[in-house]
Structure 1
Amino acid sequence: MPVAQFTSAEWLALLQHELLLLAAVFFAIGLIDELAIDITYAWLRLTGRAKPAEVGSRGYALQDLSGMAAVFIPAWEEDTVIGPTLAHALASWPQDDVRIYVGCYRNDPATIASVSVAARGDDRIRVVIVGADGPTSKAHCLNRLYQALCDDETRLRAKAHMVVLHDAEDMVDEAALVTLDRAIWHDDFVQLPVMALPQSDSPWIAGHYSDEFAESHAKAMVVRDALGVSVPGAGVGSAIRRPMLDRLARLHAGEPFASASLTEDYELGQRICALGGTGRFLRARTHDGRLVATRAFFPSDLSAAVRQKTRWTHGIALQGWDRLGWRGTLAERWMTLRDRRGPLAALVLAIAYILVLSAILSQVSATAGFVAPLEPSPMLRGLLVFTMFGLVWRLLARGLFTGREYGVKQGLMAVPRVLVSNVIAIMSGRRALAAYWRSLRGAPVVWDKTAHHDHPSLALPKAAYA
């Protein structure tokens, strides 16, 4: 049919066909990428290289450390959760060689008071006041804690052998500190898994974090570790060997943490690798099967989840491209590309959902006889079959990984929660692009933190994490 004779409905069908082809191509590329990760993980499982290390139970957790361990916890407006966090950490880690440095801001008296109450009677907690009104950036607070540690080391004439990073809302694992203490002698950076605990009042928003971390920290991060590429820091359950932290500080005017970065935790692992340091993602289980991991509640409402993921996407995918560039081996660049695909994935997902609605309208119109449906080309038909197979595969994998950590019910819920993950990804991708544009025009980097109201150690029975 000549182009001039196309009706508006036929033009719409043609546009729908081309957009569908575009989305199908990108989905196919993404599925090939995921299948490569799945095949590598399956090979690691078959060869035994993906098997978690085994550590002792409570007796193991009570073992002495091989030196002083400094724990850094930056805190801004965390008076609701910092008390339970410190109480649980002190009870879980009774070793005398632990020093917990909590960074508070001078204009946040409520958090300072909460930390002071928790520190009463236990000299293992050190309250460090940031000499600026908050919030600055999380890295700025961490750099102040580093300075306080250096001052203490000079005064005590004793040096820590590792620094462990945690957030103010974390529930630490009792075996984590000894596990990190043993591992840090072999690598410059060690990252433990993170478990986003399900919340009964937010089965969909908070629950989608459980699904994503269960799969990522049981499969993708295991593959990264096996490939020997850089291990991105999660900001919690991360240990850095003390000499490496000093090395970073010397190279960056005394500040080992990147104050200008929105995701200084992710960047930390990259910078250590760039200096020739070694990183490790360490999965370990106790004799009774408990995963040694940091447990926490993640945002339970849509706006907070979108804000958090906006910061992640902005910092890792957009700002990280500017700050870190592309470097390393082919495997390193592959993982970097996976880390930075967020904005493009959000765009393709948005197009896909629009096409689903458009397809429904087109089918209704075709059924009513208003317009003849445009038949997909053989290439598009083949791509759709492949992507449908890939979608089913991805849903099964998500459900299996979630079910393994949280039980059958959560595993089944993980399948429909993929829709929630996608919607949040689309919304945060759009906001990240807008935020990045503002940063290019000179907008300052500030701590766009998530508000925390509940702590797992108070909300859950001990059996849930012990």
Structure 2
Amino acid sequence: MVADVAWLAAAMARELMLFAAIGFLIGGFDDLLVDLLWALRWVRRRLTVYRRHRPASAATLPAPDAPGRIAVFIAAWQEAPVIGRMLAAALGRYRHDDYVIYVGTYPNDPATQAAVRAVGDPRIRLVSGTLPGPTTKAECLNRVWAAMRADEAVSGIRCKAILLHDAEDVVHPQELRVVDYLIDRFDMVQLPVLPLIEQSRGWFARAVSASYADEFADGHSRQLVVREAIGAGIPSAGVGCAIARARMDEIAASGGGAPFDDSSVTEDYEIGLRIAAKGGRSAFVVLPEVPGGAPVAVRAYFPHTLETAVRQKQRWITGIALAGWDRLRWQGGLAERWMRLRDRRSLAAAVVLTASYAGLLLAVMLALCGVAIHWPGWAKPILTICAWLLVWRLAVRALVVGHHYGWREGLQAIPRALLANLIAILAARRALFSYQPGVTPPWDKTEHHFPDALPCD
């Protein structure tokens, strides 16, 4: 009886780990291809472009061909603790002569409206409505769009571009200047997002917060760069994303007058791909403020508890991997389909990770009991390749995190991968069991906070 149980446990551990190994093999080579394309682009630019031209910076950008007004859109639901400080900081940091910040609020959220009014600056435009909150972020942004158009009709001044931000963002002083120059050349400009890392809430809160820094440093150092290089659509990150007015008008016309789809929970991701589908030119712009300096980027605190991190990741998985499959399908050429497959692989990745951890735990328990696992002959080379791919993946993650946050954070990103995997597994499970095709969930936002001391840019 004991022997039968041991044999069954060993068989389960073997099958779980082999299943996970095949999944890791596929995903690992997928990531490796992105790394190789990224490296080839980096080498090519230094052997060709940078030999003929000095790398640009925000400080060396010429004046835009036709300077114009930039409209900053912020959707705010229950953001009273942060929105006033965010707006005051933006007004003090922006280095641009012509902009208006539109803040979308709700009639049943008087605290947020009061915080916006208290800023008391004519460059801040409070937008309310008749629908009680929360609706969706997309619905709120559509009301802001309508308010901007109404203001234009009165003033006779047409906005040049729309820049998306969230209520907790720390804006960069040069971002409007960069947008004003580049939006003449592109339909969408996405700036990097570099999350702030919690320093005063305990080691676990810091680790959860830093896992976002790891993810965005990786995604905004490699993946968006490669997407642009191979001609695939660049999804908007929802913050630090500017859209040319003419392109926004075109999208709004195709949507019955509203540029954002009210039924979407990832309206930012979708609008970037819709721009690409219409033939628009998008650019992911990593531009240092001064030569050799930090990039012009958006900074913000992300969730720092396990529960809030899982909720946010659940929304991203629901909107991109599940609803995105239903809504956006598989349009475009080979490069576009490959990138959409990468966007939507989170559910499969969660299954593979769960199988790997379950198999590994079972294998350790069996080893402690002196029970051997019998592997087929073809398993050893696959497991060896997976191990090397894992080492490579962690090394690249440490490299890109270290580039933006310093070598200590780069090294800490290696063990933090375990926490990131746990969040991904829990979020995928919640997304899978809560998703209802055709049903739009309400805006499930997390609590935000704004830094006491603004970061140096």
Normalised by the shorter chain, which TM-score bucket?
over 0.9
Q: How far off its partner does 1:311 sit?
A: 0.2
Pick one of 54, 57, 75 that aligns with 1:55: 57
State the alpha-carbon separation in 2 of the partners of residues 210 and 65 from structure 1.
36
Instruction: Give the number of equivalent residue pairs.
Output: 447
2:218 matches 1:222 = no
Q: How far off its partner does 1:56 sit?
A: 3.6
Aligned match of 1:343: 347
Q: How far off its partner does 1:308 sit?
A: 0.3
Gaps of 5+ in 1: none
Aligned match of 1:459: 453
2:417 matches 1:418 = yes
Aligned match of 1:331: 335
2:410 matches 1:407 = no
2:192 matches 1:193 = yes
CA contact (8 A) 1:65 1:178 kept: no
State the alpha-carbon separation in 2 of the partners of residues 53 and 342 from structure 1.
36
Which letter does structure 1 place at the counterpart of 2:340?
T
2:281 matches 1:278 = yes
Matches within 5 A, 1:324-403: 324-366=328-370, 371=371, 373-403=372-402
Which letter does structure 1 place at the counterpart of 2:442?
V
The 10-residue stretch of structure 1 (373-382 or 45-54) with the greater mean CA deviation from structure 2: 45-54
CA contact (8 A) 1:299 1:450 kept: yes
CA contact (8 A) 2:192 2:298 kept: yes
Which letter does structure 2 place at the counterpart of 1:465?
C
CA contact (8 A) 2:58 2:178 kept: no
CA contact (8 A) 2:14 2:375 kept: yes
CA contact (8 A) 1:101 1:127 kept: yes
Pick one of 247, 251, 259 that aligns with 1:256: 259
State the alpha-carbon separation in 2 of the partners of residues 89 and 63 from structure 1.
21
Matches within 5 A, 1:36-185: 36-48=33-45, 54-57=56-59, 66-118=67-119, 120=120, 122-185=121-184
Aligned match of 1:7: 4
The superposition leaves residues 170-200 of structure 1 with CA deviations (integer Å, 9 ceiling, x where unpaired) of 0011111111111111111111100011111
**TM-score, normalised with respect to structure 2:** 0.94
Q: How far off its partner does 1:406 sit?
A: 0.8
Pick one of 21, 36, 39 that aligns with 1:24: 21
Q: How far off its partner does 1:62 sit?
A: 10
The superposition leaves residues 194-225 of structure 1 with CA deviations (integer Å, 9 ceiling, x where unpaired) of 00111112321001101111111011111111
CA contact (8 A) 1:193 1:293 kept: yes
| Secondary structure of 1:72 counterpart | strand
The superposition leaves residues 241-288 of structure 1 with CA deviations (integer Å, 9 ceiling, x where unpaired) of 101111111111111101111100000011111112121111111225
The superposition leaves residues 352-385 of structure 1 with CA deviations (integer Å, 9 ceiling, x where unpaired) of 111111001111122xxxx4x1321122111110
State the alpha-carbon separation in 1 of the partners of residues 331 and 61 from structure 2.
40
| Secondary structure of 1:204 counterpart | helix
**TM-score, normalised with respect to structure 1:** 0.92
State the alpha-carbon separation in 2 of the partners of residues 327 and 245 from structure 1.
21
Q: What percent of counterpart residues are identical?
A: 44
State the alpha-carbon separation in 2 of the partners of residues 197 and 211 from structure 1.
11
The superposition leaves residues 41-60 of structure 1 with CA deviations (integer Å, 9 ceiling, x where unpaired) of 11011111798953244x97
What do you get for the CA RMSD once the two structures are aligned? Answer: 2.1
Gaps of 5+ in 2: none
State the alpha-carbon separation in 1 of the partners of residues 208 and 185 from structure 2.
38
The superposition leaves residues 49-88 of structure 1 with CA deviations (integer Å, 9 ceiling, x where unpaired) of 798953244x979999711110100100101111111111
Q: How far off its partner does 1:92 sit?
A: 1.6
State the alpha-carbon separation in 1 of the partners of residues 359 and 373 from structure 2.
14
Which letter does structure 2 place at the counterpart of 1:164?
L
CA contact (8 A) 2:9 2:362 kept: no
The 10-residue stretch of structure 1 (136-145 or 177-186) with the greater mean CA deviation from structure 2: 177-186
CA contact (8 A) 1:65 1:95 kept: no
CA contact (8 A) 1:61 1:177 kept: no
Q: How far off its partner does 1:13 sit?
A: 1.5
CA contact (8 A) 1:21 1:380 kept: yes
Q: How far off its partner does 1:141 sit?
A: 0.2
Q: How far off its partner does 1:32 sit?
A: 0.3
| Secondary structure of 1:161 counterpart | strand
CA contact (8 A) 1:53 1:285 kept: no
State the alpha-carbon separation in 1 of the partners of residues 441 and 98 from structure 2.
35
Which letter does structure 2 place at the counterpart of 1:229?
A
Aligned match of 1:448: 444
| Secondary structure of 2:414 counterpart | helix
Aligned match of 2:210: 207
State the alpha-carbon separation in 1 of the partners of residues 147 and 111 from structure 2.
21
